Amino acid sequence: MNIDEIRSYCLNCKNKPCSNNGCPLNNDIPTFLHEKDLKKAYEILCNTTVLPAICGKICPHKKQCEGSCIRGIKGESVSIGEMEEFIGKTSIENNYKIPMEIDEALKSKKVAVVGGGPAGLTCSAFLAKKGVKVTIFEKFDKLGGILTHGIPNFRLDRNVIDSTIQKILDLGIEVKYNQILGKNLNIENLTNEYDAIFIGIGANIPTKMNIEGEDLNGVYGGNTLLENGKHPDYKGKRVAVIGGGNVAMDVCRTVKNLGAEEVYVIYRRAEEQMPAEAKEIEEAKQEGIKFLFQTNIVKIFGNDDKTVNKVECIKTKLVQKESETRLSPVNIENSNYLMDIDYVIMATGSKPEEGLINDFEKNKYGYINVDENMQTSIEKVFAGGDIVGEKSTVAFAARSGRNASEKIIQFLKK
């Protein structure tokens, strides 16, 4: 469908289920979609998001906006993601600006944002729009968080990320690079200098499975490999990627592109339960990646020099457990088998960096605890995105950043 066909396919529903039930950012979908003046359509999107070209491309639309689209009940849902990406890209090509909405009462206020990923960037933009002086403190020499240091180029164009970030910085935001909370940056100094602080440092440390052999050479964390890009030489090697989400898909395809001979994705549930988007799974299959569904890994074996040479797998069956919403995998006794493998990459989840957030009260899952005002246990300090245990998607992190900006503004006006 072309843009006009997508537009006329949308029923312009009065109760907007796509916006109200599906989109984490509550973008006003039918209104931007039916607006033919593309600058105005972009400005409608800017009321709720500053990342349209990015979210339009990589949000799990089928689980979010398109999953709630009325058209989807009997047929195909409206291609909302495609429209959002189109408008986002048009805004880049035509240099449309994010509209300012200056509030004179906020012009003397200074806010520090630690972390320049989707949560930090969105919080910064919604504060700067109102006239707040924002400084972002970023660990790396580039902004974007996982968008820049995680999601591979073949899925998200670097120019789109950079141009989207530039629009945000054009709101008058200052950036200090190579500033690392816990090393050359501390909360106390920031609270002395700024009226409020937002922490959006993500939670990108790979979790362990706690199985035998996990400490052998040749076992890697998927997030770490994608973040620092320091891969071993995969040429002619057999690689097992454990997990079924975005990280597993991005890492298996990256490894295959880098020349691995065989790449296996080992996932303990069935294909239809994979958290990754169906499109990503399909593309991975087409690129020659092999999927072992309902399979668990129980042990990793090594050579005398402690490098990986085999993994032990076991088949699983799926059972409904009380109080669980989805089917749980249970190992099938005596179904174990061995596979020759050179590298194992864990993509089974991530968590906050050890020790980094010890100054804060944490929730039971180990993330920074925030109250209903997104305030942490430290006076003047707010937090959002993956570091507070958000749903680990770009749109949820962005919403969290936007919500925090609203709470920070209320705080600054007290």
**Which one-letter amino acid corresponds to residue 26?**
N
Asked if residue 242 lies in contact with residue 344, where contact means CB atoms within 8 angstroms, the answer is yes
Give the nearest distance from C-beta 125 to ligand FAD in angstroms.
13
Q: Which partner from the list ligand SF4, ligand FAD, none does 202 bind, CB cut-off 5 to 8 Å by kind? A: ligand FAD
Residue 16 touches which of ligand FAD, ligand SF4, none (CB < 5 to 8 A by kind)? ligand SF4
The two structure tokens encoding residue 387: 């570091």
Supply 73's token pair: 């009940």
* Whether the Cβ atoms of residue 158 and residue 135 lie closer than 8 Å to each other: no
Cα distance between residue 297 and residue 323, in whole Å = 25
Contact between 25 and ligand SF4 per CB under 6 A:
no
What are the two backbone dihedrals, phi and then psi, of residue 113, each rounded to the nearest 5 degrees? -115, 120
Q: Are 109 and 197 in contact, with CB atoms under 8 Å apart?
A: no
**In the complex, least distance from residue 22 CB atom to ligand SF4, rounded to whole angstroms:** 8
Quote the least distance from Cβ 77 to ligand FAD, whole Å: 18
- Total binding residues toward ligand FAD, as defined by CB under 6 A: 39
> Is residue 16 within the footprint of ligand SF4 (CB under 6 A)?
yes
Nearer to ligand SF4, 30 or 145 (CB): 30
**Smaller CB distance to ligand SF4: residue 11 or 319?**
11
The yes or no reply on residue 84 touching ligand FAD (CB under 6 A) is no
> CA 128 to CA 198: how far, in whole Å?
13
φ/ψ (deg, to 5) at 55: -65, -40
Distances (CA, A) of 144 to 248, 250, 314: 20, 17, 39
Residue from the set 32, 42, 86, 137 that interacts with ligand FAD by CB under 6 A: 137
Q: What would the x/- binding string for ligand SF4 be over residues 49 to 78, using CB under 6 A? A: --------------------xxx------x
Q: Judging by DSSP bridges, how do beta strands 262-266 and 290-292 pair with one another?
A: parallel
Q: Say whether residue 80 binds ligand SF4 (CB under 6 A).
A: yes
Q: Which stretch binds ligand FAD (CB under 6 A): 40-48, 139-147, 234-242, 262-270?
A: 139-147
- Residue ranges in 370-389 that form contacts with ligand FAD under rule CB under 6 A: 385-387
